[in-house]
Amino acid sequence: MYNLLKGKKGIIFGALDSNSIAWKVAERAHEEGAEFVLTNAPIAMRMGTINELAEKTGSQIIPADATSMEDIENLVEKSTEILGGKIDFVLHSIGMSVNVRKGKHYTDPKYDFTTKGWDVSAVSFHKVMNVLYNKNAMNEWGSIVALTYMAAQRVFPDYNDMADNKAYLESIARSFGYFFGRDHKVRVNTISQSPTATTAGQGVKGFDGFIKYAEEMSPLGNATALECADYTISLFSDLTKKVTLQNLFHDGGFSNMGVSTKIMDHFTE
């Protein structure tokens, strides 16, 4: 590999199993010379296989509920102790909609579910940056990345209230990113990834049909979880020191398409 992250230290949220983008980011960060702490909510850890990833990458795991300021403060304090210094990169790869899980339609949600999903998927990003910023826990030219999706800008009917959560997540990245850049020279970006066959992604209604549609719409095809990990590594590296406040589409060109010849072929056969 290229040693792009040699000597860098980080925190990676959200690695559930080998299908997760966060899992692939951890593997690639390890290959590029980084040290990092893995974290996920206790319930997610029971569902996944994060211990295998920790062993493979020589990492420690610190359970944390990303909606709890107390847990995040403990995570950051312990991470800097374990890693022996300030943090260079953070990946926020967390998202959940209780309304989707419970089969509640967007037009008739349970608002307690909406609030929980909003807290986990978006407000948690603000909380994480709050602790990192106020504890001055990031090195200068550090990089914080959150994963998002284009439903923040366009209508995808079955994406439900996750679309709202992602729109808010992207706004937080810009707003907090301004202060983090101005005061600590830390960059904050979001990556808007293709539909990806992760455990979470497959929970969206009609996912298989949509992933095929996106593949046929995109001139380069859908980006895989591993390809997203490669892109994330570039944003953690020193090669992108002046990239901040951006929502970066990593989707094979889907986001700029109106229609493709493959899609048109279905209507002209």
Catalytic residues: 149, 159
Q: Cα torsion at 121, 164, 154, 236 (round to 10°)?
A: -30
Nearest-angstrom CA–CA distance, 54 and 188? 26
* 75-107 exposure pattern, b = at least 16 Cβ within 10 A, e = fewer: bbeebbeebeebbbbbbbbbbbbbbbeeebebe
Q: Which amino acid is at 166?
A: K
Instruction: Determine if residue 14 is labeled as part of a ligand binding site.
Output: yes
Q: Please, are residues 80 and 86 in contact by the beta-carbon 8 Å criterion? A: yes
Residues sharing a CB contact under 8 Å with residue 46, sequence separation 6 or more, in sequence order: none
- What is the Cα–Cα distance from 238 to 230, expressed in whole angstroms? 14
Closest C-alpha to 214, from 247, 253, 161:
253
Residues in Cβ contact with 253 at an 8 Å cutoff, skipping those fewer than 6 apart = 218, 219, 220
Query: Does 166 appear as a known binding residue?
Result: yes
Binding site feature residues: 14, 20-21, 94, 166
Binding site feature residues for NAD(+): 14, 20-21, 94, 166
